[in-house]
Amino acid sequence: MGSGIWSTDVYDAADRYRRSTGGSAFSYSDSGARTVHPALDPRDATRESRDSAEHPRSTPVAVLFDVTGSMRTVPRVLQTKLPQLLGLLQRQGYASDPQIMFGAIGDATCDRVPLQVGQFESDNRMDDDLGRIVLEGGGGGQMTESYELAMYFMARHTVTDSWEKRGRRGYLFVIGDELAYPRAKSREVSRVIGDDLAEDLPLRQIVDEVTRRWDTYYLLPAGSHYAGNATVLDFWRGLLGQNAVVLDDLDAVCETIALTVGLGEQAIDLDEGLRHLDRAGSSATGTVSKALARLGRGRRAEVSTLPTLTDTTDGVTRL
């Protein structure tokens, strides 16, 4: 739950070992697994991002990606670029004590593994969680996947000290190329997550819940099946506004995430972030510049600006 320190040396050593033995960074999936790994099972689970003496001011960052169809290559890209992501967040000071959680999204109507959710980590265990993801590659073939289940989990099954102690939202990135279902079905929530709902929940309600505590972004990368589809982009912009972001190059996903966090934390402006990419020799500068040009620069909600409720019986305003 966020302890430990990321080590590029440890990451590189593990990568060299896999290469020398012919192993895979996604050995669980590549070995033929077709059930969720116990460490990533969302059923009856809560994921926490907590402060500690080692990380006194944690910043939670959740990255959930579609692993159906053409999108199943996304986690492999993320895994190879983890050092760049952590380098920007930590060494460039984009966020204090970043804790990253990875998860995967499928289709609850037909996939064996429709939702997989790791833990928030500050060290190389985040790479371990990536390696446990089942790259099922299924999906229902109807331009719809179960993004609403993932957002439901983030809204109701995460706890962060960033929010509880400081009233600061975390960052949630959903990477995909299709529509969400219009409702979170109570039977799917019960089967996959374990909650008993009296009725289905409308997607709009789920989005409102999750965006209260999470700055939520939808990344639509080039090369995916529905990239360039106006229906998909309009759908997500209707839900998230300018936080629905088009990426011309999937290889730019880590840099886009890092700079988005840096902008949200007001650690950089976009020009400064792009200069950092140039100095690091990144080929993603043009893609990131285009993708993030639409984003505003405003800071997320602090405790002093949280929504209030007014008790009309006595006129007292309460948090």
In this prediction, residues 153-158 reach a mean pLDDT of: 98
Residue 291 is assigned to a structural domain of this protein:
yes
| pLDDT tens-place string over residues 178-200 | 999 999 999 999 999 999 999 99
pLDDT in tens, 223-236: 666 666 789 999 99
What's the pLDDT score for residue 315?
35
Q: Does position 143 have pLDDT exceeding 50, yes or no?
A: yes
308 vs 19: CA distance, rounded Å:
55
pLDDT(318) > 50:
no
In the prediction, which pLDDT does 123 show?
85
For residue 128, tell me if it sits in a domain: yes
SS3 65: strand
Residue 188 within any structural domain of the chain: yes
Residue 179 forms beta bridges with which residues?
Answer: 144
Q: What is the pLDDT of residue 228?
A: 67
The reported pLDDT for the residue numbered 138 is 66
pLDDT tens-digit series, residues 45-74: 999 999 999 999 999 999 999 998 767 778
Q: Which residues are CB-contacts of 67 (< 8 A; sequence separation ≥ 6)?
A: 74, 75, 104, 105, 106, 133, 134, 135, 136, 137
Whether 2 is covered by a domain: the verdict is no
**HEC string for 265-286:** CCCCCHHHHHHHHHHCCCCCHH
Residues 21-48 pLDDT 10s: 888 888 888 888 889 999 999 999 999 9
Q: Within a 13 Å sphere around the CA of 56, how many CA atoms are in the beta-carbon half?
A: 1
Distances (CA, A) of 239 to 117, 170, 186: 23, 18, 21
CATH number of the CATH domain containing 159: 3.40.50.410
Report d(CA 152, CA 110) in Å as an integer: 19
Domain interval for residue 224: 8-318
Query: What confidence tier does 140 reach under pLDDT thresholds 50, 70, 90?
Result: low
| In-domain check, residue 3 | no
How far is Cα 31 from Cα 241, in angstroms, rounded to an integer?
40
Residue 306 has pLDDT above 50, yes or no: no
Cβ 147 vs Cβ 203: under 8 Å: no
DSSP class of 119: -
Domain count, the chain: 1
